[in-house]
Chain A
Amino acid sequence: MTDRPAAIVTAAGQGIGAAIARDLHRRGYRLALMSPSTRSIELADELGGVGLQGSVTEPADIERLVEAATGAYGRIDAVVNNTGFEKWSVGLESKQPYFNPDAKAHLLDIPDEDWHENLDLFVLNVVRMARAMTPHFREHGGGAFVNISASCAIEPQSEYPFSSSTRAALSSFTRLYSDKYARHNIRMNTILVGYVENVGDAETYSHLPMQRAASFEEIARNCALFLSEETSYVTGESIYADGGHHRAL
């Protein structure tokens, strides 16, 4: 029983985060879950794990989560840094993804404080978790992080101004972190998610090579893959899980 690996998942109350928690549970992981609502507490009750209410933008909440997780399981093997949606996303307006000069998310109208908030939400969430968990992983001989990001982090899209800009910093941070800690057997990778089942419609999907959005469950399976030993030599990467949508080589 105690040989089972343990994982922390943030923003685990719904959507991708909840699907990841369920998938890891099926694979035998013991779980510590957090989300701003009480939903991750309910989910943790259902899956037999530890659940907390809290936000990844609050350093104290992250520390509380890490303490609860290590307190319950002793050793943590994996961390999934999932996070919320951006305030300024306007949902998909154009049926021609990426370039939409008429997007309602008006770039220059976004106040400075929202830029700072999104730095907290999409970059410093991971930085704070890395600060809290790196000593633990080093002490126990290694560990793995997966950050859930978006394909527009690398191929900017008009409708998602922050995912398309602030999340680019996360892809760079993922490399810097690996430069420093890969030698300690700590891996960090970022999954760039494209259209997921709760975004887009049939016309949108007709522009995607796979003609459909990803299900939450297949993003979760992908996440588990990059936490596992199957990917023991993969680190510092930003990996597209976008059904073949992105164009860059």
Chain B
Amino acid sequence: MANQPVAIVTAAGRGIGAACARALHAKGYRLALMSPSERSIELARELGGIGFSGSVTEQADIDRLVGATLETYGRIDAVVNNTGYEKYSVVEGSFGAAFNWEAETDPLDVPDEYWHEALDLFLLNVVRMARAVTPVMQRQGGGAMVNISAICAQLPMLDYPMSSTIRTVLSSFVKLYTDMYVRDGIRMNNLLLGYVANLDYPDEAYHTIPMGRAASLDEIARNCIAYLGEDASYIAGENLFVDGGVNRSL
């Protein structure tokens, strides 16, 4: 039991986060889960882990989560930095093709305070977790983090103005972090997700996806775990598309 690896998952109450938690549990990980609602507490109970109600936009909540994880399990091997949706996204917008000038959103209409909120939600969530977990992983001799991001981080889409800009910052941060800490055995990678089956898309959306379908939550979770594991031991600082072939750039 004590040889089982330990993983932290944020925004674990539902969707991608909950699927990652279940998949990690199936692989033998011991879990520490957090989400703004009570759902991650219930899920943790079901999976025999520890659960907290808290937000990745609060350093104190992250410190509490990391502290409790260490107290309970004595180590942290893996972190999945999952987070919420952006306020300004328009799901009924364009699909596949990045360009939709008819998008209801105009990036100039996004108020300054939403830009700052998005920085807290899509970038500083990872920075804060990295501050808390890096010394732990350094002491242990290593660890792995996967950040759940979106393809629009690298293929900007008007329908998702904050994901398309602030998440780009995360694509750079993962490289800076790797420059500094991969020598301590800590790997950090971003998963850039395309269409995921937890949302409904109009039929025409699927015509723009080479695979013709959205990703299932389970296959995102399997992918996430693969990048946390030893099979990916030489992959660090990468932005990895998990998008059914939508990405065009080489």
Q: Spell out A's residues near B (CB within 8 Å).
A: 59, 99-101, 103, 107-108, 110, 112, 115-116, 119-120, 123-124, 127-128, 130-131, 134, 153, 156, 158, 161, 164-166, 168-173, 175-177, 179-180, 183, 249
In the complex, whether B171 has a CB less than 8 A from a CB of chain A is yes
Residue of B nearest to A152 (CB): B172
B169 contacts which chain A residues (CB < 8 A)? 165-166, 168-169
Q: Give per-residue flags for B88-121: 1 if the beta carbon is below 8 A from chain A beta carbons, else 0.
A: 0000000000111101001110101001100110
Q: Is A169 touching B116 in the complex (CB atoms < 8 A)?
A: no
How many residue pairs, one in A and one in B, have C-beta atoms under 8 Å apart?
108
Q: Spell out B's residues near A (CB within 8 Å).
A: 59, 98-101, 103, 106-108, 110, 112, 115-116, 119-120, 123-124, 127-128, 130-131, 134, 153, 156-158, 161, 164-166, 168-169, 171-173, 175-177, 179-180, 183, 250
Q: Is A107 touching B176 in the complex (CB atoms < 8 A)?
A: yes
19 new A-B contacts, CB < 8 A, other than A127-B107, A169-B168, are A100-B179, A108-B130, A112-B120, A112-B124, A112-B127, A115-B124, A116-B116, A116-B119, A124-B112, A124-B115, A127-B115, A128-B112, A153-B172, A158-B176, A164-B172, A168-B169, A173-B107, A176-B107, A176-B156
CB A21 to nearest CB in B, in angstroms, measures: 26
Residue of A nearest to B128 (CB): A112
CB A27 to nearest CB in B, in angstroms, measures: 29
* A168-B168 CB under 8 A given contacts A127-B115, A176-B158: yes
Q: Is A112 touching B59 in the complex (CB atoms < 8 A)?
A: yes
* A176-B115 CB under 8 A given contacts A108-B130, A112-B59: no
Residue of A nearest to B161 (CB): A176
Name the prevailing secondary structure of the B interface residues.
Answer: helix
Name the prevailing secondary structure of the A interface residues.
Answer: helix
CB A94 to nearest CB in B, in angstroms, measures: 10
Q: Is A168 touching B158 in the complex (CB atoms < 8 A)?
A: no
Q: Is B183 touching A183 in the complex (CB atoms < 8 A)?
A: no
- With A and B bound together, what is the CA distance between A134 and B106 in angstroms? 12
- With A and B bound together, what is the CA distance between A131 and B119 in angstroms? 20
Shortest 4 CB-CB contacts between residues of A and residues of B: A169-B165, A165-B172, A175-B156, A172-B156
Q: List 30 A-B contacts (CB under 8 A).
A: A59-B112, A99-B179, A101-B179, A107-B173, A107-B177, A108-B127, A108-B131, A112-B128, A119-B119, A123-B115, A127-B110, A127-B115, A131-B108, A158-B176, A158-B179, A161-B176, A164-B172, A165-B123, A165-B169, A168-B168, A168-B169, A169-B165, A170-B165, A172-B153, A172-B165, A177-B108, A179-B101, A180-B101, A180-B108, A183-B101
A110 contacts which chain B residues (CB < 8 A)? 127
